[in-house]
Amino acid sequence: MLLVAFSLLAITVIANAVLAITVLASLKKQPYKYVFLSVLATVILWAVGDILMLTSDSTTTAYFGAQLFYIAPLFTPVLLWLFAIQFPENSRLKKIHIYSSVVALLLATIPLLINVNFIIYPIELAEPFNKINPRNPGFLLYGLFLIVFFLLVYITLLQKIRTLKGTARLQVLYTYFGVVLSSSLALVTNVAMPLLGYVTYVWLGPPFTLINTIAMFMAMFKYQLFEFKFVVLRLISYTFLILFISVTYTMIVVLLSASLTQSALQFDKNFYVTVIATLLVVFTVGNLRSKFDKYTNKIFFKDAYNSQELINQINSLLVSKNQLHDLIGRIALLIENNIKVTFCNYYINAAATVDFHIAGSNTTLFSKHEWHEVLEYVSGVSKKVIRIDDEDLPDTVKVAFKALGIELCVQMISSDVDVGYIIIGEKRSGNDYTKEDMQLLEIIADEVAIAVQNNLQFNEISQFNITLQKKIEEATKELQKSNEKLQKLDEAKDEFISMASHQLRTPLTSVKGYISMILEGDAGPVNDTQKRFLDQAFLSSQRMVYLIADLLNVSRLKTGKFVIEANPTYLPDVVESEINQLQETAKARELELVFTKPAEFVTLNLDETKIRQVIMNFVDNAIYYTPRGGRITVALKQLKNSIEYTVTDTGIGVPKKDQHHLFTKFYRAANAKKSRPDGTGLGLYMAKKVVIAQGGAMIFKTTEGKGSTFGFTFPIPETANE
């Protein structure tokens, strides 16, 4: 019994220490992680106290163990409660939780630190366990303390289970069951049974915590509890397994030794020698066996090989960057050396687009006439593995197999595509191929088939890329030629526009000048009807002059000859003169054109000719794109640091899809084309260029079907004349 107790308590200490190391190695530094580490520390101290209290032959040591045994468990449920409050969402601990825990622990532990006999009678040294007996009412109060705090732990964890979802809920669920099962059993053996007079099994309390340890490890493996590093956990788990096996084997050996010698178990020098010897056997038996097998296989089992190691070597080759021919040759060599066959060859079907079709150590057999007979037969058979001793193999084919020294023919298939065959000779030992050999060769055939198929697909893709690259280069050359032609055509167009504009400008200027002279009475009196017609002719010629100017400016922009000739300009006069010219046109279209000239206005340095063209363009557009009965409001304002010119109409507006294209060259909105088919799409483009070139900014607002606002703004220089 003593050895069983000692072993279980040792396992408890080791298991909880391993769990503590695992938690400590987790990725995040959650506050609750350190609280849980404290819980594990109390469990380890509890188990150590258990060993000292029950097995020590010294009264002082036994009493020290008793203090550990009874004080450490007081901290366990309190710390578990604090852990349950925080876990798993890192909830903050309230002051009431901390203060109540500290006060409760002080009240419970101080009496035991002074004298543990407050809850137990003096310890009696005995065999196999020292005797302890509870003393009431101290022990009863001790038990109530544990029960109350464990109930708090249960309730807190249950509340978390009800509210949380997903992985977090499962983590809490595993923790809950581990805590409930281990603590319930420990309360039975360490509180309930001693109160009833049964103290024999108090040593079982700490080992029951192994249930919780297992539950926590399961939560770590399955649900990433504490967000541990998996490699660390694997290492720690392996260590724990070794320690568990060591303790188990040690216990068995010591028990057998005590039984055979018919002597009482004693923790003397012989005991420790036995333990060390057992541990050495546990740690070295695996390596010794593998070494023994390795040397005996060479003598007694010449055909023996490690199939997993062979597959691993082949997989390593398959993921390397070797050429296919070299790759298959090296795999054939591995098969020869491991399975110990006379030869291993590969045959790739003739239809495959590869630069070779045979590979291996004995490729001369492919040149013999018997091979064609073998190939014709195996090509028509659906069997994966064809052996020379197959009953359904025709005699002529058997003869061919024998003549070529072929023992096996393994078909290579990838995605239902027949890739080729592995041709293998007989074993050097003369033994038959086993079922395991066949299965291994089928696996290798499948892997090589995939490698060949991947190579074929890679070659196809590479060839396609080469073809595609050639076509792209040809198409690029064609595009370059077409682009050169377009550039020449564009240059010719610009030259034509420039020439035509210059040629048209002179006669139009003359026409405009003569009409102006007639309107001013230089050719005699003009009646109202004549004046109205002449005004329209003058306005049309003025528009044509502006259009020609736009065309010339576009050409100048492209050649870098677009120049702003800034002079002092008084915008109210410029706007007024343009409005007066367009009033008759507005009246003819039954539109109300409104402009209120500001009384005072700053004089700006602007290119008057170009800005006049912009002013006229905005008003002209408003007239043409506003239905009859509409209103056009022209405003010129001087603000604190800038001036603002706007033309607001109640016209057709600009569709949303056309707005971001509106100020580009030759672009016109769809509804504008319907209202004015003869537009050029240059007016707004040039207006923006003129305004921005002089340091201004455009104003544009519109709502389709309700109207638009076009305009510009210029900053007022500090040196400007008011």
Asked if residue 88 has a cis previous peptide bond (ω within 30° of 0), the answer is yes
What single string gives the DSSP state of each residue in 87-150?
Answer: TTTTPPPPHHHHHHHHHHHHHHHHHHHH-GGGTBPPPB--SSS-B--B-TTHHHHHHHHHHHHH
State how far the Cα of 221 lies from the Cα of 270, in Å rounded to an integer: 40
Asked whether the predicted pLDDT for residue 502 surpasses 80, the reply is no
Give the domain ranges of the chain.
Answer: 2-226, 229-301, 307-463, 545-715
Q: What is the pLDDT of residues 308-347, one digit of tens each?
A: 888 888 888 887 766 777 888 888 888 888 888 888 888 8
Mean pLDDT across 31-58: 86
Q: Which of the two residues, 161 and 429, has the higher pLDDT score?
A: 161
Looking at residue 231, its pLDDT comes to 45
Looking at residue 651, its pLDDT comes to 93
Q: Which two tokens stand for residue 582?
A: 């367009």
When mean pLDDT is compared across 61-75, 230-244, 493-507, the lowest value belongs to 230-244
Whole-number percent of the chain with pLDDT over 90: 23
The DSSP bridge pattern shows strands 631-638 and 592-595 to be parallel
pLDDT band of residue 550 (cuts 50, 70, 90) is low
Question: Where do we find the tokens 């506003």?
Answer: 626
Mean pLDDT across 103-127: 84
When mean pLDDT is compared across 159-163, 226-230, 531-535, the lowest value belongs to 226-230
Of the candidates 43, 75, 39, 69, the one whose C-alpha atom is nearest the C-alpha of residue 56 is: 69
545-715: what CATH class?
alpha beta
Asked whether the predicted pLDDT for residue 234 surpasses 60, the reply is no
Asked whether the predicted pLDDT for residue 135 surpasses 50, the reply is yes
Looking at residue 272, its pLDDT comes to 54
Asked whether the predicted pLDDT for residue 563 surpasses 50, the reply is yes
Whole-number percent of the chain with pLDDT over 70: 82
3, burial (CB in 10 Å: exposed 0-12, middle 13-18, buried 19+): middle
Looking at residue 596, its pLDDT comes to 92
Asked whether the predicted pLDDT for residue 348 surpasses 80, the reply is yes
State how far the Cα of 420 lies from the Cα of 246, in Å rounded to an integer: 53
Mean pLDDT across 547-573: 77
First CA to last CA distance, the chain? 113
Q: Which of the two residues, 29 and 572, has the higher pLDDT score?
A: 572
Looking at residue 501, its pLDDT comes to 58
Q: Look at phi and psi of residue 651 and say left if phi exceeds 0, alpha if psi is from -120 to 50, else beta.
A: beta
When mean pLDDT is compared across 16-25, 544-553, 668-677, the lowest value belongs to 544-553
Mean pLDDT across 293-298: 62
453, burial (CB in 10 Å: exposed 0-12, middle 13-18, buried 19+): middle
pLDDT band of residue 233 (cuts 50, 70, 90) is low
Looking at residue 41, its pLDDT comes to 92
Q: What is the pLDDT of residues 440-483, one digit of tens each?
A: 888 888 888 888 888 777 777 878 888 899 999 999 999 999 88
Looking at residue 338, its pLDDT comes to 87
Looking at residue 582, its pLDDT comes to 86
Whole-model pTM over 0.75: no
State how far the Cα of 298 lies from the Cα of 309, in Å rounded to an integer: 17
Looking at residue 254, its pLDDT comes to 63
Mean pLDDT across 631-636: 96
622, burial (CB in 10 Å: exposed 0-12, middle 13-18, buried 19+): buried
Asked whether the predicted pLDDT for residue 519 surpasses 80, the reply is no
The vertex-16 CA angle with 13 and 22, nearest 5°, equals 140
Neighbours of 447 (CB within 10 A): 18
Mean pLDDT across 646-675: 88
* Backbone phi and psi for residue 220, each to the nearest 5 degrees, phi listed first: -70, -45
Q: Look at phi and psi of residue 639 and say left if phi exceeds 0, alpha if psi is from -120 to 50, else beta.
A: beta
State how far the Cα of 110 lies from the Cα of 142, in Å rounded to an integer: 12
What single string gives the DSSP state of each residue in 273-323?
Answer: HHHHHHHHHHHHHHHHHHHHHHHHHHHH-TT---HHHHHHHHHHHHTS---
Looking at residue 562, its pLDDT comes to 73
Q: Which two tokens stand for residue 431?
A: 């033994």
When mean pLDDT is compared across 240-254, 260-274, 454-468, 523-537, the lowest value belongs to 260-274
Of the candidates 440, 446, 720, 687, the one whose C-alpha atom is nearest the C-alpha of residue 569 is: 720
Give buried/exposed letters for 682-711 (b at 16+ CB in 10 A, else e): bbbbbbbbbbeebebebbbebebeebbbbb
State how far the Cα of 590 lies from the Cα of 630, in Å rounded to an integer: 8
Q: Which two tokens stand for residue 617?
A: 């363009």
Q: Which two tokens stand for residue 261?
A: 């010698």
pLDDT band of residue 492 (cuts 50, 70, 90) is confident
Asked if 623 contacts 582 with a C-beta cutoff of 8 angstroms, the reply is: yes
Q: Which two tokens stand for residue 359?
A: 């590979």
Asked whether the predicted pLDDT for residue 390 surpasses 90, the reply is no
Looking at residue 646, its pLDDT comes to 96
3-state secondary structure of 423: strand
Q: What is the pLDDT of residues 705-721, one digit of tens each?
A: 899 999 999 999 887 65
Give buried/exposed letters for 423-432 (b at 16+ CB in 10 A, else e): bbbbbeeeee
Q: Give me the CATH code for the 2-226 domain, please.
A: 1.20.1070.10
Q: Give me the CATH code for the 307-463 domain, please.
A: 3.30.450.40
pLDDT band of residue 28 (cuts 50, 70, 90) is low
Looking at residue 259, its pLDDT comes to 65
Q: What is the mean pLDDT of the chain?
A: 82
Mean pLDDT across 533-551: 73
